[in-house]
Structures are given as structure tokens and as C-alpha cells.
Structure 1
């Protein structure tokens, strides 16, 4: 009988202990959950208030003419421009030099690079030039070290170089696909890794990533090119996030996404709704965006209002808009093919 009583007493005590544990657990978790809800509500309200400020600030700066807007001074800054031998790169190099920047021109084409350098020296500007194969990681790193030793700390990096072969997927050689990726996106990793640490040490720097509207909308005969330009968008956004998360607020990042540019890269293409952009205009707009420390620059500006449609409209409707109204695939069918790689 006594054993039974003991068992009953033990069982009763165990029940009380369990009840106490459950109550204590409730006491512990309830304030924590309430605290989390309060924090979320507080941060959401703060976000909404700041959003009003951000929108008004953006409208204010958008409406303010560049002539009276404070712009970043580039005088004395060392600026590396990849693909400086021709097209937008050449125009960028000339315009940056005229603003007082010390241009470091990179290109794989020796003759084209020499033309850019000759133009600058004839105008009395100092320029440093380097023959670089961006598809070769070792070449990028070695050249970056030369720049640091011979020119000094780089204040701005403009990853402008790009290549396109203009073939459908089944026509593209494996070598062409790999080259497109190496030049259009992988080289960005090597250049940024080479120059960003010094920017962080000095607390001053600017990374400019040249993407494309083809990196926002998939384009016919550009499975390699579009994919790499989509990658540049992700690269820029992730890099921007890392810089801000670690408090590097004085290291700026700008993504540039232009429409077709009349540089020869897209020879034969005849867009239906908008004419090709001229390289001089693109370079001028890029530099204005850089000097404003803008995060995104889409050219022409009207394109950014069309981009949300691909997520909001039915897929068949998007295709009909692209195929029937814009005639995007048809315009790309006349693209002159580039020499393919074996």
C-alpha cells in the first residue's frame, strides 16, 4: 500500500513539475514573441516614413537640372576603363580625361588602344594604357598589380568591356560561350577583387558595372550575351548589398544598362520603336550618373517603365508585345555574325 502511495505521490509531483515547466516556458516565450512583433511593427513604420522621404528626395534630384546640381569632382582620380580601345570605352576615356581624371585604359586590341591614347595625348592629357586579355584571369591580376605600382591606387573601376557573337544557342561553339562568360562577367570578379581592397582602405571608390537592357529582357540570338548581362545585374546588386551591409557607404556602385548602342557590336540590327543609342550620348549619360553616385542607370529612361510588364502581364501577352509590336526577334535576325571561335 505504501509503495502504491509513493507511486501516486511521485506521479502527482511529476504532474505539478510538468505544469510549472509549461507555465515557465510560456512566460519565457511570450515576451520574446511580443518583442519580435513590436520590433517588426516599429521597423515597418520607420520604413514607411523613410520611404516618403526617399521618394520626395528622388523626385527633387530628378527634377533638378545637372547644371545646378552638385556633381562629384573627378579631378585627379585614377580611373580604370576596360574596353577603352573603341566604342563607348573610347568616349568614356576622352570625357573622363577632360574632367581631370587620370585615365588607365585597358583593351586587348593594341591598335584600337593606341588610337585612344593618341587622341588623349594630342589633347594634352596623361594616359596609361595596358594590353589586357580579360578572358585570362592571370592577365587581369598581373596587369592590376602593374597599375598599382606604376600609376597608384585606383579610385574608380569601369567594367565596360564586352563581347557578343550573335548566334543562336545551337550555332554557338563551346569556346564562344566560354569566352563570352569570361569577358562579360567573370572578368568583373577579377578586376573588383584586385582594386576594391584599396578602395576600402582609403574609404573612397566607385565600381561601375556596364550591363545591358539585354540583361533585363532575354534577347534573340543572345543566349550567351543576355545571360552574362543578367549576371552583371546580380553581381552589381549583391556587391552593393555587401558594401552597405559592412558600412562601406563611401564606396559607390553604379549599374549601367543601355539599349542597343551604335558601336558595331550590333551591326545589322534595326530596332522598330527606338533608334540605337549613340556612343557619345551613352558615355555622357554614364558619367553624369557616376558623378551623381546613382545606383542604377537605364538608357533610355523610358525602358525602365516597360520592365515591370514582363512580371505583371501574362507570358503570352509579353511574347505578343515583343514579337508583334516591338518585333525584337525580327530585328535581331539581321545581326551580322561575328567571327566564331573554334
Structure 2
């Protein structure tokens, strides 16, 4: 009996998300032009930040690239110039508020007012709470969320004055689901999602509708820093497919981008079953044994295996997975969006 009640609740949601995705597939939103825009990307020396810079270079934007890694930063800038874009590289420590503010002043003086800000830099340490050192927790929040406040405070005023601009928050699927042994990281990404949502509402309240916001929430991204991946919430994504979705999301002014798209459905599902102890992070290899979720196991697998087929741009090609269930040596992805998240 419980199975049929759950099915009655879930099938309408499945239908809604499927129809929504099909509608977007057949009636795509017009992409805006960003030619000549000044785009600042943090964590541009590697991974997602670097690839995002390349795509904006192809769109003939003027690029401002920030990273703590000078060598990687210069490589990114050189390639952007080869692609025909003007690129300005600044070595910036995104964990240092004063460095962010002083670098922002240099950017305004030497390049101009930033009109698209991509807060991409991130760090991640994998260990349990007690093995995570206090400075590591502080660094995680300094880079993954506090830097978003400082960069936005520095560059948003000009956007608001012109009622034109775009703030992009690179968050994570981990900003919607708790993951063991990533306590600091998940907390910082929950904060990043909240930052995006609150900023979006604040801009609307201030009637600055010309300043757009986008939040990217992908599963973990394969940038070479996550070792020995295993099964978890979903596929370990390739950075190229994430960047394609991100750029399209910015150009079509999407507020939230979930990769894979099924994460959006699962977050709604978790909310629906919050009183039944449904856990989004229970979608792993232990699903069939000892799960506290009241949704039948067969139905869970049905959702996981069939829903992505109906949703747009689901990355089936990524067969690798990541899990932080077993703590080991800390992995610090310093000031580079190695997870995208």
C-alpha cells in the first residue's frame, strides 16, 4: 500500500519535470550577446575556470583572470589571447579580503568596470570533522563563500548603477545534500547557494532587474585532483560538458543550473519526504541495504535510471563517480575550481 501511495506522489513530479525539460528542449530561450563585456573569473588558472575563460574569449569578451597560481594563470591568459581576446591576468589570493579589494581597484583602473563576475575559485579538503584542521575550515569558507561577498561588493555597484551585469556563483550539488567527510565543503556550498538566492531577491527588491544572477550546481567534476573515484550521487562530470552548460545558462539567463538535471528533481523529492527521513545522499551503492528512506528501493532505482533519460543534456558519457565516504589524505584544491563546486 505504501508503494502505491509513494508512486502517486512521485509520478506527477516526474511528469512535471519531464514536460518542463521537453519544453526547454524544443523552445530554447534566445541567447544574449556578451561581445565586448568585461568578464572577471576567479580560479582561472586551472580546470573549470580556465575552460570558462576560453569560452568567453571565443565570444569576444575582455577577460580579467584571477588565480593564486601564477604559472597556470599565465597559460590561461596566453591561450585567451591566441583565441583573439584581450586578457588581463592578476595574481590574487581569494582567501585574503584585502588582496581582493586592492586587486579590484587595479582592475577598475587598468581595465574598466566588470560587467560579468564569475565566482569560481574553490578549495576542498576531504577528512572527517576532527581530522580537519581549524585553518583548513577557515580557508574553505574564506575561498568558497566569503570571497563571493568581497568580489560582489567590489564590482556590483557599477552593475547596479548601469542596471546591467551578471553575477555567477559556482556552487555544487553538495550545496543541496550533506556528504560525509566533506563537512566544511558542503557547508560552504550551502552558503554559496543561499548567497545566490538572497542576492537574486535583493536585486529584485532594489529594482535592478538588469543585473542577472546564475548559480551553477554540478556534481563533482573530473579535473584530476579527485583520486580513486567510486559510486555516489551521480557521475563524475567532465569539465567541458559543465562549461558548455554554464555558458549556455549565462547567455540564456538561467537562475539555477543543475548538472545532471535530475539533481533538481531529487532536491524537490528530498523536500517532499523530509518528514520520512529521505536523504538525497542515500543514492549510492548502499541504497538497497539499511536505507532509512521510505520510498521503495525499486522506485528509487527507477527514478535514478529513467529520469535522466527524459531530462536535457544529462551527461551519460561520464561513467566515473566520486565519493568521500572514506577519509584519507586531505586533498586541497587550492584556489582552483577543481570540483566546480
When normalised by structure 2's length, the TM-score is: 0.77
1:301 equivalenced with 2:261 (yes/no): yes
Q: What is the number of equivalent residue pairs in this alignment?
A: 284
Q: Give, in whole Å, the separation in 2 of the partners of 1:315 and 1:137.
A: 42
Shift of 1:268: 2.5
Corresponding residue for residue 43 of structure 2: 83
1:324 equivalenced with 2:290 (yes/no): no
After superposition, the Cα gap between the structure-2 partners of 1:176 and 1:61, relative to the gap in structure 1 and judged at 3 Å, is: same
1:62 equivalenced with 2:24 (yes/no): yes
Which among 133, 157, 169 is matched to residue 129 of structure 2? 169
1:111 equivalenced with 2:71 (yes/no): yes
* SS of alignment partner, residue 254 of structure 2: coil
Greater Cα shift, 204-213 or 109-118: 109-118
* SS of alignment partner, residue 202 of structure 2: helix
After superposition, the Cα gap between the structure-2 partners of 1:170 and 1:110, relative to the gap in structure 1 and judged at 3 Å, is: same
Contact kept, 8 Å, 1:219 with 1:329, in 2: the verdict is no
Which among 124, 132, 139 is matched to residue 84 of structure 2? 124
Shift of 1:60: 8.3
What is the Cα-based RMSD across aligned positions, in Å? 2.6
- Tell me the alpha carbon deviations over residues 253-300 of structure 1, each in whole angstroms, 9 at most, x when there is no partner: 111101010013433222356321111111111010000111111111
1:98 equivalenced with 2:91 (yes/no): no
Q: Which has the larger radius of gyration?
A: 1
Q: Give, in whole Å, the separation in 2 of the partners of 1:79 and 1:330.
A: 33
* SS of alignment partner, residue 287 of structure 2: helix
Corresponding residue for residue 289 of structure 1: 249
- Tell me the alpha carbon deviations over residues 222-277 of structure 1, each in whole angstroms, 9 at most, x when there is no partner: 11000000000111111111000111010001111010100134332223563211
Greater Cα shift, 117-126 or 275-284: 117-126
Contact kept, 8 Å, 1:207 with 1:254, in 2: the verdict is yes
Q: Point out which structure has higher relative CO (alpha carbons under 8 A, 6+ apart).
A: 2
Contact kept, 8 Å, 1:166 with 1:335, in 2: the verdict is yes
Mapping of residues 166-245 of structure 1, within 5 Å:
166-245=126-205
Q: Give, in whole Å, the separation in 2 of the partners of 1:126 and 1:317.
A: 49
Corresponding residue for residue 256 of structure 1: 216
Which runs of 5 or more residues in structure 1 are unaligned?
Answer: 1-54
Q: Give, in whole Å, the separation in 1 of the partners of 2:107 and 2:23.
A: 36
1:337 equivalenced with 2:340 (yes/no): no
When normalised by structure 1's length, the TM-score is: 0.77
After superposition, the Cα gap between the structure-2 partners of 1:330 and 1:98, relative to the gap in structure 1 and judged at 3 Å, is: closer
* SS of alignment partner, residue 337 of structure 1: coil
- Tell me the alpha carbon deviations over residues 126-152 of structure 1, each in whole angstroms, 9 at most, x when there is no partner: 100100001100000000010001000
Mapping of residues 11-30 of structure 1, within 5 Å:
none
Shift of 1:70: 1.7
Which runs of 5 or more residues in structure 2 are unaligned?
Answer: 1-16, 290-320, 335-341
Q: Give, in whole Å, the separation in 2 of the partners of 1:326 and 1:278.
A: 28
1:72 equivalenced with 2:32 (yes/no): yes
Shift of 1:334: 6.9
Contact kept, 8 Å, 2:122 with 2:333, in 1: the verdict is no
Q: Give, in whole Å, the separation in 2 of the partners of 1:333 and 1:251.
A: 42
After superposition, the Cα gap between the structure-2 partners of 1:58 and 1:197, relative to the gap in structure 1 and judged at 3 Å, is: farther
